[in-house]
A and B are shown apart, each in its own frame.
Chain A
Amino acid sequence: MIILPSPARIVGYSLLVILAVLALAGPEAFNLDPVRQSLRNTLLPPSATHVLGTDHLGRDMAARLLSGAQLSLSLALLAVVSASVFGTTMGIISAWRGGWIDRAINTLSDSILALPGLLLVLMMAAISPGSWWVLYVGISLTLWVEYFRFTRQRTRILLDHPSVQASRLLGFGYPHILKRHIFPELMPGLFTLAAFGAATSVTAMAALGFVSVGLRPPTAEWGVMMTQLLPYWREAPWLILQPIACLVVTVLALHLSVGSLTKPNI
């Protein structure tokens, strides 16, 4: 792990909070409409009426970026939550029960790990192009493995720990052991994984959108916006830089908030 100095984490958290608030508020909160076009007011530079200018169809850029933030962050949140819940549950079951259940889940996770994550998401995207749900399923399917492997490995060690053994002997049930001994130990690691998972899903969505196999126009997705605004680089260079900046800031915030450039080794 490449650890970053601690002020980085504060910057990261602040950026994340700002992004989350903006995404939650959405374009509606600023009385903006991301689909409203004005074909006679295209490629306008930033001004009082259009804070970030207008795109090639005369749509308000700020509104579209906010709407893109909603798409990206909601995908990241949902994918990370479902992957972590599923992966952690599988990890605990695997560690606790052992035997053929452990072997079965392990084989499943190995088969997903055998392919680079994005490849799986790409292939999933081919099943139903342009669908948000397929991206969500594909990304979650890739992400859960990390949670599973991390949880399984740590839980196995924790279960052997004398304090857990003692709890078991004292007759405490699974809920108690999980709550008192396992989860507190797992949480920091899970949060780190969550931040990386979120960065992965935001990036994957934009990358697929950019190469035209993800969400489709006229959706205000950051990657799609980059593809569409690239031709106007000469006339309106500020336009393409906006979705790129949004994506970079989001990924940067996520990396800074966990204070690391690289995932923990699992």
Chain B
Amino acid sequence: MIDRLFIALALALAFFIQNVGAAESSEIRVAAPWEISGPDPSTDGFVFLRMGVLETLVSTSESGNLQPGLAENWSTTSDGLTWRFTLREATFHDGTPLTSDAAVTALQRAVSNPGPLGKVAIDSIEADGRDVLIKLTSPFLPLPAVLSHSSTVIPAPSSFDPNGKVLSAIGTGAFRVNELKPPQSLTTARFDGYWGEKAEMASASYLAVKRAETRALMAESGDADIVFTLDPAGFKNLKSVDSLKAVSVAIPRVMLIKVNAGHSMLGDETVREALSLAVDREGIAAGITRYPEAAATQTFPPGLGDWHNAELPALAYDPQRAKSLLAKAGWSAGEDGILVRDGKRFSLTMRTFPDRPELPLVAAAIQDQWREIGIELNVSVANYSEIPKGHQDGSLEVALFARNYGSIPDPYGSVLSDFGAGGGDWGSMNWDNPEVVAALGKIANTDDESVRTSLIKEIGKAIHTDLPMIPVVWYQHTVAYKKGLEDIVIDPLERSYGLNLVNWAQ
């Protein structure tokens, strides 16, 4: 009896340990933090775009420049009001050809859903033979850049049910969906009818793994071939693993402190400067995000073209100067060391959210650093919707978050909504600078590069001195992959994983 039990135990263990699904060499397994909620492009287009399932009219190169996607070429009329995108010959995964009607349906959907296309002043979108005609009510030069955003991908008509609900992600990309299991996994197979360079791999799979350390461990144990977005500690570990390559590229994402300039304590420009001077950016970059070179010297990181201005003086760390600035503004230390003015304590609440794990850590660091100059900071870690909400109802004091200025290849749209008139949910608050508003207005209409450059510099300077948002650190896009993999593309815009080009070294 006992012998038999032991045999059963041994057999069971043998069954468990047996490697059931060893990786095939023609398969590539991706692990990334973003969960998939379904096939809808407005919420999950980014996953299908990155995995090469769905595609946009306009694509981007490795260096971030626009290049033809599903549209072979595009042009605009001299008044800048009518845009014409000519589609290429392509086939959807269900065998039907790509038509301008399909593209129009998809784009109209993108307009009515949240995303950058809905913010463009669009009059109409129509099909005209193989062309898609987009008519605007006012000129908008960065339109092609907007059409590279993941919310504007073009699914096949058969992806929708009669009510317009998205049932599946049928696209034109190098891979077609095999199985979609929200929220965790997506498996795809090579699409042999792809118009571009056909995939080397027979299949590709995507696994959403929220915990950064788990992803790092998956890379190390070989459970994933490519792992995206690593935590600083995991990245450091993986760099020393022989079988892996860990690389990072600077991306146009920046961590910022949003400041309510209409707040009684924060309206003063010198107070904002003091807050900025008290932030130890190098300490945060070295100790928390662990990329010392990425301490922000200004709002826009290098790689954003003219928007990054090397001539601007770097933001400094000088708590002594911060203290004297605050003293000048009428604040003096109270009994517990916290500053007081007219009987009011200098106490602020910072809103941040846990979805990006580094944010609460940096918030805790800033809490400590601001206490140094006599400011009491309460950190409220909650749902990130509390930030736009607080912007709208005016209750927000300061907030800490990461802003992506590269969600479309031209940061103009993001800058316009963040620093334009009235500020933005993820931008300035109660800070109105007429010169910046005027300059932003002019940029949309000019195609003269030198005028554009000087306008951009003007805007950058105003933001740098006024500090409606206080930059903290810039971000890195981190990737770890198996050494045997070749031709990996690391896209700083995080639009594509370039999986169709990837192959195993012979």
In the complex they form, whether A and B have CB atoms below 8 Å apart is answered with yes
What residues make up the interface of A, taking CB atoms closer than 8 Å to B? 35-37, 39-40, 42, 56-58, 129-130, 212, 216-218, 228, 230-235
- Contact call B233/A35, Cβ cutoff below 8 A: no
- Closest chain B residue to A41 by CB distance? B287
CB-based nearest A residue for B213: A231
Chain B residues whose CB sits within 8 angstroms of the CB of A234 once the complex forms:
233, 237
- B216, B286, B287, B361: residue with the most chain A Cβ atoms closer than 10 Å: B287
Q: Which of B187-239 contact A (CB under 8 A)?
A: 212-213, 216, 231-234, 236-237
Q: Are B381 and A40 in contact (CB under 8 A)?
A: no
- Which residues in B have their C-beta under 8 angstroms from that of A217? 354, 360-361, 364, 381
Distance in Å: Cβ of A38 to nearest Cβ of chain B? 8
B284 touches A235 (CB 8 A): no
Contact A216 B233 (CB under 8 A): no
Quote the shortest CB–CB distance from B229 to chain A (angstroms): 13
Complex-state Cα separation, A111 to B385, whole angstroms = 35
- Check A218–B360 contact: CB distance below 8 A: yes
> What does DSSP make chain A's interface, helix, strand, loop or mixed?
loop
| Size class of the contact patch on chain B | 20 to 34
With A39-B288, A42-B287 as given contacts, are A232 and B233 in contact (CB-CB < 8 Å)? yes
Determine if B212 and A37 form an interchain contact, defined as CB atoms under 8 angstroms apart.
Answer: no
22 A–B contacts from the bound complex (CB under 8 Å) = A35-B367, A39-B287, A39-B288, A40-B283, A40-B287, A42-B287, A56-B233, A56-B361, A57-B287, A129-B382, A130-B381, A216-B381, A217-B354, A218-B363, A218-B367, A218-B379, A231-B212, A231-B213, A231-B231, A231-B232, A233-B213, A235-B237
CA distance A231 to B288 in the complex (A): 12
Quick check: B283 and A39 within 8 Å, CB to CB?
yes
A37 with B365, Cβ < 8 A, contacts A57-B288, A129-B382 known: yes
Known: A35-B364, A57-B364, A218-B367. 14 other contacts (CB 8 A): A39-B287, A40-B283, A40-B286, A42-B287, A57-B365, A58-B287, A216-B354, A217-B360, A217-B364, A218-B360, A230-B213, A231-B231, A233-B213, A235-B237
For the complex, is B425 an interface residue (Cβ under 8 Å from A)? no
CA distance A212 to B356 in the complex (A): 13
B364 close to A218 (CB less than 8 A):
yes
How many residue pairs between the two chains, A and B, have CB atoms under 8 Å in the bound complex? 62
A246 → chain B closest CB, angstroms:
20
- Determine the distance from Cα of A136 to Cα of B363 in the docked complex, in whole angstroms: 26
Does A216 lie within 8 Å of B284, measured CB to CB? no
| Distance between Cα atoms of A57 and B231 in the complex (Å) | 15
B contact residues around A216 at 8 Å (CB)? 354, 360, 381
With A and B bound together, what is the CA distance between A218 and B364 in angstroms?
6
Secondary structure at chain B's binding surface: helix, strand, loop or mixed?
helix
Answer whether A231 and B234 are a contact pair too, CB < 8 Å, given A37-B368, A58-B287, A129-B382: yes
B218 to chain A minimum Cβ distance, whole angstroms, is 13
A72 to nearest B CB, angstroms?
Answer: 20
Collect the chain A residues with CB atoms within 8 Å of residue B432's CB. Answer: none
Contacts of B288 in A (CB 8 A): 39, 56-57
Nearest-CB residue, chain A, relative to B210: A212
Q: Chain A contacts of B286 at CB under 8 A?
A: 39-40
B residues within 8 A CB of A228? 361
B280 at the interface (CB under 8 A from A): yes
* Residues on A with beta carbons closer than 8 Å to the beta carbon of B382: 129-130
List, in ascending order, chain B residues with CB within 8 A of A235's CB.
Answer: 233, 236-237
Kindly name the residue among A36, A230, A235 whose own CB sees the greatest number of chain B CB atoms within 10 A. Answer: A230
Q: Most chain-A CB neighbours within 10 Å: which of B354, B365, B368? A: B368
B266 to chain A: closest CB distance in Å?
23
Nearest CB in chain B to that of A218: its residue? B364
A35 to B365, CA, bound (A): 9
Contact partners of A42 in chain B: CB under 8 A? 287
Min CB distance B220 to A, Å, is 9
Q: When each residue 277-291 of chain B gets 1 if its CB lies under 8 Å from chain A and 0 otherwise, what string results? A: 000100110111000
The chain A residue with its CB closest to the CB of B383 is A129
Which residues from A are CB-within-8-Å of B212?
Answer: 231
**Whole-angstrom distance between the alpha carbons of A232 and B212 in the complex?**
12
The smallest C-beta distance from B212 to any residue of chain A, in angstroms, reads 7
Residues of chain A lying within 8 A (CB to CB) of residue B363 = 218
- Among residues 356 to 390 in chain B, which have CB atoms less than 8 Å away from a CB atom of chain A? 360-361, 363-365, 367-368, 379, 381-382
A129–B381 Cα distance when bound, in Å, is 10
Q: Select one of B216, B354, B381 contacting A231, CB under 8 A.
A: B216
Residues of A within 8 A of B283 (CB): 39-40
Known: A37-B365, A216-B354. A231 touches B379 (CB 8 A): no
Residues of chain B contacted by A40 (CB below 8 angstroms): 283, 286-287
Residue of B nearest to A36 (CB): B368
A58 to B368, CA, bound (A): 12
Contact residues in B for A57 (Cβ distance below 8 Å): 287-288, 361, 364-365
Q: How far is the CA of A40 from the CA of B284 in the complex (A)?
A: 9
Q: Which residues of chain B are near A232, meaning CB under 8 Å? A: 233
Distance of A113 Cα from B311 Cα, bound (Å):
68
The residue in chain A whose Cβ has the minimal distance to the Cβ of B220 is: A234
Complexed CA–CA distance, A56 and B236 (Å): 14
Please measure, in the bound complex, the distance between the C-alpha atom of A232 and the C-alpha atom of B288, giving whole angstroms.
12
Per CB-CB distance, the 10 closest pairs between chain A and chain B, nearest first, are A39-B287, A39-B283, A231-B233, A218-B364, A231-B213, A234-B237, A37-B368, A217-B360, A42-B287, A216-B381
| Chain A hits for B364, CB < 8 A | 35, 37, 57, 217-218
Report the Cα distance A42→B379, complex, angstroms.
21
Question: What is the bound-complex CA distance between A40 and B290, given in angstroms?
Answer: 11
CA gap between A58 and B233 in the complex, in Å: 14
Q: Which of A56, A57, A212 has the most CB of B within 10 A?
A: A57
Of residues 329 through 370 on chain B, the ones whose CB sits less than 8 Å from some CB of chain A are 354, 360-361, 363-365, 367-368
With both beta carbons as reference points, the residue of chain A lying nearest to B287 in the complex is identified as A39
Q: Which residues of the partner chain A approach B213 to less than 8 Å between Cβ atoms?
A: 230-231, 233
Nearest CB of chain A from residue B226's CB, rounded to whole Å: 19
